[in-house]
A = this chain, B = another copy of it.
Amino acid sequence: MVALTHMIDSEVFLAFSTYTTIVILKMMVMSPMTSYFRLTRKAFSNLEDTSLTPSTDEEQKKLVRVDPDVERVRRCHLNDLENIIPFVVVGLLYSLTGPELSSALLHFRVFVGSRLCHTLAYLLPLPQPSRAVAWTTGLITTSSMAYRVIRTTFYL
């Protein structure tokens, strides 16, 4: 981890920035998607939100309910948080350890690809084990980067 200051200008860091922004944008899309399903399925979690859809007072109380499609999008979103954030944190530190560009690109591409597959498999949904495979692939990719960070920076 010598000369970290040079790394931040490198192609590895540019690639990290691009892939991270893509995968974060993918995660952000889950928010409006949840809103869309809440509005079309008329399933809200707060009483005040029911005013966003035309209905009488009596009907509004019934709209505070759980809908399976909304819950599916929410689970997918939470899974993104649980997996994409470790990737971003570990990937940033990994980029600063001065890896080979080809090796870094391989990690970034496999991870972003695995999360796109995971979202598709979750929302369509595709039969298992497609989602399990996508999720495991992402987990292994992040672990592989974490191994390099620990090995390079080890300082307890």
Contacts and interface: CB of A to CB of B under 8 A. Distances in A.
A17 B51 contact: no
Count this chain's copies in the assembly: 3
Contacts of A18: 149-150, 153-156
Contacts of A24: 86, 89-90, 146
B48 A127 contact: yes
Nearest to A153: B17
A1 B11 contact: no
Looking at chain A's contact residues, is the secondary structure mostly helix, strand, loop, or mixed? helix
Nearest to A50: B128
> How many residues of A sit at the interface, in one of the four size bands?
35 or more
A150 B15 CA distance: 10
A46 B35 CA distance: 21
B46 A72 contact: yes
Interface of A: 1-6, 8-9, 11, 13-15, 17-22, 24-25, 27-28, 30-32, 35, 45-46, 48-49, 51-52, 71-72, 75, 77-78, 81-83, 85-86, 88-90, 93, 96, 122, 125-129, 131-132, 135, 139, 142-143, 146, 149-150, 153-156
